[in-house]
Amino acid sequence: MNKDFDSLELIKIYLKSKRFEGIKRTYSPEKVQELRSKIKISYDISNLGALNLWELLNQPSKWVSGLGSATVQQAMQLEKLDFQIIYVSGWQIAAESNFGTNTYPDLSLYPSNSTPEFVRKINNTLLRKSAENKKLKLPSIIADGESGFGGIYNVFDLTTQFINAGAAGIHFEDQLASEKKCGHVGGKVVIPTFEFIKKLNASRLASDVLGVPIVLIARTDALHAKLATSDFDDRDREYLSKKRTSDGYFEIKNNKELAITKSLAYAEFADVIWCETNDPDLGFAKEFATEIKNKFPNKFLAYNCSPSLNWMDKFTKKELNNFQESLFKIGYNLQFVSLAGFHSMISSFYELGKNFKESNMEAIANLQVKETQMSKSGFTGLKHQQEVGSNYYELVGEALLDEDSELLMKKDSTENTQF
């Protein structure tokens, strides 16, 4: 069918496709048409990643699991291990990979384009690597949109940036953007249900305009927030105290019911629902899943197995080994460890620094022994030049220079002569 990208007929077919079954929008196909250009731009990495992620969520016998990557090289390791998704946490962007002039706590202090550009950098690196390994798929990237860094216009634009960068899924949370906090600290303020639904629609509208079926994840922080901006929404009012704090916000008097009520409202608009928790409690996880599934039996649920929670003293080894499967059995198809990259990075480097201070170059030799042993199971970082693209650019050199050229890298590389 040879039609312009802004064809109303094509837009209606797209919006009514099986992919969006059960999804509600507050805008019409005509509004999508007004915002679409006639020329279709291809966002292949985002589109393919979103389709792949949707397929993974729909697999009947296995959950989707991933680790949060704080650096591109960590994402590379996950790709080598055939992880199907890579999670990009706003907390880790603030802590390590933002465009600001400092590291930050999780307060949305960093420039808002930091996370989309980090996603782009991961995808560009993995795409270049795919020229060498000839893999047909890249891992689907799920990215943190925080509270949207503002209102509906900010969310619309941020979603557009994420799709341009190649994100497959995005999550937004129902905190007040100007007071946004990490989900595992105090001081959180949630916004009215209707206001967050507007943000979900803003994100969906952006993806509809671009024609990319991004997986939209709605997160509520109401379970452990103490404050709400307003009691205007009837759905929220009965769970709020009439008392205002010295900051002018309403106190929440029934967190659990508020979190469930909000999530049920979000489920009409989002593909996946996530309730952030302060405790790895399978009991509440089951209660929450039951409430959502009773009304939306096909709705996907997400769970953050966060290192902000203490996993050391609550479970037996068997319970830890079965935790994700237990979550899956009660309805959680999407699971990830949000800050895995940060904790892995700083703990391993601290250990190396301590060993180096105590034993000098023996610490480096021991590190190389460890890397050599890991190489037997697929680790390639012992030869660090290839990790950053040297093999790819050597192929560029071989294509443009004589293969006997002394300008090529491999001939005198210590990686080839010593390892």
Q: What is the pTM of this model?
A: 0.96
- Which tokens is 43 given? 């966002």
Residues 93 and 183 in one domain: yes
- Annotated active-site residue 305? The verdict is no
The H-assigned helical ranges of 36-151 are: 44-57, 72-80, 90-92, 114-133
Report pLDDT for 139: 98
Is residue 9 included in any domain, yes or no?
Answer: no
Say how many domains are in the chain.
2
- Decide which of 338, 353, 378 is a domain's last residue: 338
- Helix (H) and strand (E) counts in the chain: 17, 12
For residues 135 and 116, membership in a common domain is answered with yes
Residue 330 to residue 59: CA distance in whole angstroms = 15
Query: Is the domain of 314 the same as that of 379?
Result: no
Show which of 321, 338, 355 is a domain's final residue.
Answer: 338
* Matching residue, tokens 């979103």: 50
Question: For residue 80, is it within any domain?
Answer: yes
Q: What is the CATH number of the domain that holds 139?
A: 3.20.20.60
Pick from 297, 316, 338: which residue ends a domain? 338
Using the Cα atoms of residue 70, residue 74, residue 79 and residue 84 in order, give the sign of their dihedral. Answer: negative
44-57 and 152-165 are packed helices; what angle lies between their axes, rounded to 10 degrees? Answer: 100
Inside any domain, residue 326:
yes
3-class SS at 140? strand
CA separation for the pair 99, 94 (Å, rounded): 9
Sign of the dihedral defined by the CA atoms of residues 308, 310, 315, 321, in that order: positive
Query: Is 12 inside a domain boundary?
Result: no
- Cβ contacts of residue 265 below 8 Å, gap of 6+? 193, 197, 235
Which residue range forms the structural domain that includes residue 374? Answer: 345-418
Same domain, 393 and 262: no
Structure-token match 């600290």, residue found: 185
Pull the structure tokens for residue 288.
């929450």
Of 57, 75, 165, 182, the catalytic one is 182
8 Å CB contact between 163 and 206: yes
Question: How confident is the model at residue 2, as a pLDDT?
Answer: 52
Scanning the structure block, which residue is given the tokens 């979000």? Answer: 266
Residue 5 within a domain:
no
How far apart are alpha carbons 189 and 178 in whole angstroms? 9
**Does 25 reside within a domain?**
no
**pLDDT for residue 1:** 43
Do 108 and 83 lie in one domain? The reply is yes
Tokens of 89: 């946490």
Instruction: Give pLDDT tens digits along the chain (419 positions).
Output: 457 899 999 999 999 999 999 999 999 999 999 999 999 999 999 999 999 999 999 999 999 999 999 999 999 999 999 999 999 999 999 999 999 999 999 999 999 999 999 999 999 999 999 999 999 899 999 999 999 999 999 999 999 999 999 999 999 999 999 999 999 999 999 999 999 999 999 999 999 999 999 999 999 999 999 999 999 999 999 999 999 999 999 999 999 999 999 999 999 999 999 999 999 999 999 999 999 999 999 999 999 999 999 999 889 999 999 999 999 999 999 999 999 999 999 999 999 999 999 999 999 999 999 999 999 999 999 999 989 999 999 999 999 998 889 999 887 888 888 88
